[in-house]
Amino acid sequence: MLSIAGSAGAKEKSDNMKPRWMTSSLPKPKSPGYIFISAQGTGSSLEEARQRALVNLTTKLEHERGLVINSSVKIDKEASRIAGSRSSVSRQQFQMECTERGKEITLTCRVIDEYWEASHGHYTVTELYTVNDNKQPGEGSYNDDIRLTTSYGAAPVFYSLIPGVGQFTKGSYVKGGLMLGGTAVGAAAIILCENQRADYAKKMREKPQHFDFYRNKKSKWETGRNVAIGVTAALYVYNLIDAAVAPGRRRVVVKNRSYNYSLTPVIYENGAGVGLAFNF
C-alpha cells in the first residue's frame, strides 16, 4: 500500500492511455450470473477517491436494480494480483449486504481494473467492477476467466501493412496518426522529387547548351528522392515493428473458464495407483 501511495504522488495518471473499457463499451460476460459496471470517485487522496467510487457504485446499483444497500458494507479486499509480462488477473473483491424487494441478499463485487488521474492535489479514480446476479446460479464472475492485457496478438501487425492502422487497433491514436501522416508526407516527397528529377533530365536532352546546369539540378532532386525513400522506408519498418511489440491500450479479455483433468501414475510404498488431477 505504501508503494502505491508513493507512486501516486509522483505521477499525474496511472497509465499513459485510458483503458479500452473507458474509451468504448464495457466488456461483455461470457457466463450468466454477473454484470460489468463502472463507477468514478474523486478525493484529496487516492484511497479517498476509491472509497467515493465505491459509494457511487452503491448509488448506481440502487437506481438501476432497485436495491437498498445497508449502511454496513462488508468489505473484503485482497490486494494481491497475479501478473504476467502483459496480463494480470484481479483478486480484489468485497461483499455488500443488500435488500431487494424485501429480501436480504449478499452481492459479491470484484474490482477488475482501475484508472486514476491527479490534478492540483485531487484524484479522480474510475473503477471497473463485476457484480454478481443472485437470480442466476453459479459463482458470478468467477465462472469466467477475466484478464487484463496490453497485447493484441498478430492482428495489429497485419493491419499495420497500412501505416498507422495497427496502432489505431491498439488504441494508440496519436502514434497511429504520426505513422500515417509521416508515411503520407514521405510518399508525397518521393513523388515530388522524382517528378522534378525527371523534368530536369528531360531538359538536359532538350537544351544541351544548359546541360551542366540541368544536370546539377537533376542530381539534387535525385538525392532528395533517395533520402525521402530511405526515411519513408525506415518509418514504414518502424511502423511494423511498433505494431508487433509495443503495448497497446489496456483491455479486458473475458473467456469461458476451462476445466481440465489428467491421470498420473502414482507409486506408493505398498503399491501403485493412478492420480487424478484437476486444472482450473
Who wins on pLDDT, 167 or 99? 167
pLDDT for res 153: 80
Q: Is residue 253 part of a domain?
A: no
Cα distances (angstroms) measured from residue 228 to each of 90, 163, 178, 221, 232: 48, 16, 16, 10, 6
Statement to judge: residues 202 and 143 lie in one domain: no
Q: For residue 188, is pLDDT > 90?
A: yes
Query: What percent of the chain stands above pLDDT 90?
Result: 36
Helix (H) or strand (E) holding 195: helix 173-206
Contact, 161 vs 97, CB < 8 A?
no
Beta strands in 51-165 (DSSP E): 68-69, 81-83, 87-90, 92-100, 103-119, 122-132, 144-149
Q: Is residue 251 part of a domain?
A: no
Statement to judge: residues 35 and 99 lie in one domain: yes
Q: Which domain range does residue 221 map to?
A: 156-246
Per-residue pLDDT averaged across 158-162, rounded? Answer: 87
pLDDT for res 3: 42
Who wins on pLDDT, 276 or 149? 149
Statement to judge: residues 28 and 137 lie in one domain: yes
Per-residue pLDDT averaged across 75-86, rounded? Answer: 48
The type of residue at 86 is: R
Statement to judge: residues 164 and 125 lie in one domain: no
Cα distances (angstroms) measured from residue 28 to each of 34, 144, 175, 197: 10, 11, 28, 57
Statement to judge: residues 77 and 133 lie in one domain: yes
> Residue 85 — pLDDT band, cuts 50, 70, 90?
very low
pTM for the complete prediction?
A: 0.68
Which grid coordinates belong to 224?
A: 532528395
